[in-house]
Amino acid sequence: MAKTKSKKSELTKEKMLHMHRLMLDIRNFDHKVNRLVRKGVIPGMTHFSIGEEAANVGAIGAINAGSDLITSNHRGHGQSIALEIDLNGMMAEIMGKATGTCKGKGGSMHIADLDGGNLGANGIVGGGMGMAVGAALTQKMKNTGKIVLCCFGDGACNEGTFHETLNIASIWKLPVIFYSINNLYGISTPIKDVINVDYNYQRACAYGIPGHFIEDGNDLLAVYNKFEEIVQYVRDGNGPVLVEAITYRWLGHSTSDPGKYRTKKEVDEWKQKDPIDRFKKYLLENKIATAQEIEAIEKASEDAVEESVKFALSSPEPSLESAFEDIFAD
Amino acid sequence: MENKKLRATPAARALAKRLGVELLSVTGTGYKGRIHKDDIANFNYEEKTHVSPLARHIAELHNIDLKGVQGSGHRNKIMKDDVLELISDPDLKARFTLDDFGIVTVPKTEQALSKPAAEVSQKVPATPAAVSQAATVVGETEKVAMTQMRKIIAKRMTESFFGIPTFIQTWEVDMTELLALRKKLMEPIQEKTGKKLTVTDLISLAVVRALLKHKYINASLNPEGTEMTFHNYVNLGMAVGLDEGLLVPVVKNADKMSLSEFVVALKDLTERTFSKKLLPDEQAGSTFTISNLGMYPVDEFTAIINQPNAAILSVASTKEKLVPVNGEAVVRPIMKISLTSDHRIIDGLTAAKFMTDLKKLLEDPITLFI
Amino acid sequence: MENNTKIMSVRDAIIMAMSEEMRRDENVFLMGEDVGIFGGDFGTSVGMLEEFGQERVRDTPISENAISGAAIGAAMTGMRPIVDVTFMDFIVYMMDNIVNQAAKTRYMFGGKGQIPVVFRAAAGGGVGSAAQHSQSLEAWFTHIPGLKVIAPGTPADVKGLLKAAVRDNNPVIFLEYKAQYNMKGEVPLDPEFVLPIGKADIKKEGKDVTVITYGRMLERVMQAANEVEEAEGVSVEVVDLRTLAPLDKESVLESVKKTGKVLLVNDAHKTGGFIGEVAAMIAESDAFDYLDGRILRLAGEDVPIPYNQTLEAAMIPNVERIKKYILKLVNNR
């Protein structure tokens, strides 16, 4: 199959509203899950993407959703929702129900949607990087023209796998975008304390690949436009790319994190840079959408999330036998 | 000295349970006296290796194998002194010591060189007490205590003989037709079952048939003699004589068997009786018993009832006799059978009716098919 | 199925198996350190670069994490990679990808996706390569649900089971033994000669003692069994497990019930070794009532493998010790 050169797609109103909706979905979904965890309805570990919506949606907006592949990390809600996973299935999975995307056996850290190109969230930091490289290898060997978006955080850049996978992708010229969503903390350690360079994108030169920097990862269009560029580059067969976006998570690392390592002042400052508010303002000021249109989207998003909770609550628990299923493929 | 637990492998325990062997009676050949399956299989009620607990303990400490050693104690029981004497002789000790792998530490060739085999084998010198006992006897006698098996047989025979008021009826049977039938059936039965058809098999089948029509003969009476049990099936006991005594294996549901099935079943039970692999379950539950001495030239005899049966049939040998047939003297093979009956539930007429039917079946065996 | 066989080494059987599978299915490819022009650290891919080219016989940098991760990602997206781990000791670098990713992905995703990947590792010692290059680590992987573990002991079994591993849709850890790459045996030439995973093989029938083994020790067990039969008349039954996970419990228990006496032999360390699992499985099964002796294990000593050849040889079971242990059971010790 011959590779066609990809063109920069037009950023239509439809697309922009769609991305706004996805950001709202992430925000509403995670807020809801947070509340349900505190109420004791949802058990187990969950990690929230609240505050990082633009970094997620902007990037995924630039790939061919459903065709291109992504790998994710433990903070995978944002990516999964940006890839338009079924919210009902996702909420049910987080509640551990049989109707979840993984039959209740994976949970928040292993959300996946293989049919949609989502090779899964991963409980091991950097765990998805090897997989992304392998997936990209397949696309190269089979000449499919698809690319892989490998999402991870700032902490993963110090894992051995980061270095090994960037190296191997660079020598084999694999179609991978290595995307570090830098929210400035690896649980409690600030990034400044764990690397000797300013930012991780600077490490790209060690592998002879381009390193891109998105200083304001909360600016949806900045993220999107940069990614359009990168996606084109990678799809054209130029090999892998490392890109880093700066953003911030509003809540703790996970539900069990009181966040003693950050000041309230800092958190509040970042809340002022809310990506959703900023994009809403942009849409209104540039008369791309009306207030009513945006309100309608906001309501639709809230309804969809409510719907997913209802669906999940009324779904059955998985059977005991299901614990012994799906270990092997036939 | 510690209170040691019995060592036995699971397989040994399972077999012991099945054969009704008491583990405490068995000497184990395994490590630290552990009882193995073969020890149970080879267990003979008469041959118990007797070892005193102390002697066993000392032997284990020195890794000595006591198999076959005869001691100076009661019934050749191996006592502490016997073992101490054995291990005090370095030569002897070496030959009976086993290493961790159960292999004798001194190789066989050295054994042959040091002492002649016969002297070495199993005897430990007798103590003075044993020697003096032998000196006062005039001729040779052999005192043997009754085995467990003998004791049980003795008890049962006594109970039956003195407990039941019996009467006996002896009948003569012309075996011409039966013997001819046997000849005809030999090959087909051999082909079907791989076994030889005997006269006993055919007699048994006739007995079973007759029993089904005479419920009092096939009945059981409880020990107190107060309750009769009638069976609508026949479990046929066949007395088998071993050197050690009498055993009665039981062919269960003989009434439901074809001739070939019966042949196989009886042969199997008899073989296992001789090889001592009979299960306790297979010696119980008979409703009638046959005692067959026909292989010896005995004219007639009367067996003792096998309780709780109501009767027992004694089968004597078949002899050529001159008998009148239609006024002419002819030579016919004649067999005497005797029925010993419990007169508490069977009377003369009942017995006679049974024997009439039986005689008819035996003399005209074609009627077995009707 | 053709009946042609040929005497060949384990090494040649491996090359044959991989080549046949790569001819048969274009998604199968080999990756690892020095598999291309060098022909593999143990010569197990000699000639393959020439036939299949460098895309499908793919040399990698020394990056076990990336190698294993890439293999798994490729497997998840439609390819069927074979990874040459080289020395099994290096599989330790691959543990996260094998244990946390490959073994669990299908399960965590509720039955979606499959990871058809084979990790071929050269296990065991006997070549003087000392502690960090002589380990047999199969026990670790048998402990992980979602992995299959195979350890064949003859060239024919190597070929048949490697092909089966490639065709299986799950991650497989395939043990080869460094000391046996040159071992020769009769191997069927039929390209459809595939053995079933999860089935043990009775390499020798007997009635007095059962010896259960696999991999490198199979050869020694067979020799010991034959010698002890000739010298002492002991009839030994040899059960070759071939697949460790999933274990063929039925064949094992049938043999145990038959003889009542069991010896288990492997070259890996005794403590925490796989034969301990088999022994426990026997002890808790209904074959327990048939046991007529202790369940004995003969394994590698619990020491790192020493460099000195004499010392090393003494640290793993040999024919003499195997015979002694057989006799120990026969003598009811």
- Give Cα B291 to chain centroid, integer Å: 14
Give me the pLDDT at residue A226, please: 97
Mean pLDDT throughout C103-112?
94
Q: Which residue of C has its CA nearest to A166?
A: C66
Structural domains of chain C in order of their starting residue, each with its CATH number: 5-188 (3.40.50.970), 201-330 (3.40.50.920)
Q: In the structure, what pLDDT confidence band is assigned to residue B130 with cuts at 50, 70 and 90?
A: very low
Structural domains of chain B in order of their starting residue, each with its CATH number: 10-135 (no CATH), 149-369 (3.30.559.10)
Q: Which residue of C has its CA nearest to B16?
A: C289
Q: In the structure, what pLDDT confidence band is assigned to residue B45 with cuts at 50, 70 and 90?
A: low
Q: In the structure, what pLDDT confidence band is assigned to residue B121 with cuts at 50, 70 and 90?
A: very low
**Rounded-to-integer distance, Cα C89 and Cα B226, Å:** 83
Give me the pLDDT at residue B67, please: 66
Mean pLDDT throughout A36-40?
90
Measured between beta carbons, which residues in chain C are less than 8 angstroms from residue B31? 332-333
Å between C65 CA and nearest CA of chain A: 6
C61-120 residues touching B, CB cutoff 8 A: none
**Cβ–Cβ under 8 Å, residues B103 and C332:** no
- pTM for the model stands at 0.69
B347 is catalytic: yes
CB pairs under 8 A between A and C: 142
Q: In the structure, what pLDDT confidence band is assigned to residue B20 with cuts at 50, 70 and 90?
A: confident
Tokens 């379950």: give the residue: B281
Q: What are C55-64's pLDDT values in tens digits?
A: 999 999 999 9
* Position C304, amino acid: P
Q: What are C11-47's pLDDT values in tens digits?
A: 999 999 999 999 999 999 999 999 999 999 999 999 9
CA dihedral C65, C70, C73, C75 (to 10 degrees): -110
Domain parsing of chain A, residue ranges: 13-38+45-314
Measured between beta carbons, which residues in chain A are less than 8 angstroms from residue C108? 102, 105-106, 110, 112, 120
**Going by C-beta distance under 8 Å and a sequence separation of 6 or more, which residues neighbour residue B363?**
B173, B174, B175, B176, B177, B178
Q: Within an 8 Å CB–CB cutoff, is residue A90 touching chain C?
A: no
Q: What are A188-227's pLDDT values in tens digits?
A: 888 889 999 999 999 999 999 999 999 999 999 999 999 9
Q: Which fold has domain A13-38+45-314?
A: Rossmann fold (3.40.50)
**Rounded-to-integer distance, Cα C37 and Cα C48, Å:** 9
Give me the pLDDT at residue A259, please: 78
CB contact under 8 A, C292 and B9: yes
**Cβ–Cβ under 8 Å, residues C29 and C56:** yes
Give the residue with greater pLDDT, A143 vs B104: A143
Give me the pLDDT at residue B274, please: 87
When the pLDDT of each residue in chain B is averaged and rounded to a whole number, the result is: 83
Q: Which residue of C has its CA nearest to B13?
A: C289
Q: In the structure, what pLDDT confidence band is assigned to residue B92 with cuts at 50, 70 and 90?
A: confident
Mean pLDDT throughout A253-264?
81
Give me the pLDDT at residue A306, please: 97
Mean pLDDT throughout B195-201?
91
Q: What are C68-97's pLDDT values in tens digits?
A: 999 999 999 999 999 999 999 999 999 999
Give me the pLDDT at residue A249, please: 92
**Rounded-to-integer distance, Cα B199 and Cα B195, Å:** 13
Give me the pLDDT at residue B133, please: 47
- CB-facing half-sphere around the CA of A125: CA atoms within 13 A: 13
The answer on pLDDT for B148 being more than 60 is yes
Q: Average the pLDDT over each of A139-148, A284-293, B269-278 and give the range with the smallest value.
A: B269-278
Q: What are A261-288's pLDDT values in tens digits?
A: 888 999 999 999 999 999 999 999 999 9
Q: Could you tell me the CA-to-CA distances from B111 to B94, B100, B105, B107, B123 in Å, in that order? A: 9, 20, 11, 7, 16
When the pLDDT of each residue in chain A is averaged and rounded to a whole number, the result is: 92
Q: What are B288-330's pLDDT values in tens digits?
A: 999 999 889 999 999 999 988 999 999 999 999 999 988 999 9
Measured between beta carbons, which residues in chain B are less than 8 angstroms from residue C328? 100-102
Beta strands in C137-286 (DSSP E): 148-150, 172-177, 184-188, 201-204, 209-213, 236-240, 243-245, 262-269
Give me the pLDDT at residue C175, please: 98
Q: What angle do CA B21, B27, B32 make, to 5 degrees?
A: 130
Q: Where are the alpha helices (DSSP H) in chain A?
A: 13-39, 53-61, 77-82, 87-94, 127-142, 160-172, 220-235, 264-272, 275-285, 291-314
Give me the pLDDT at residue C277, please: 97
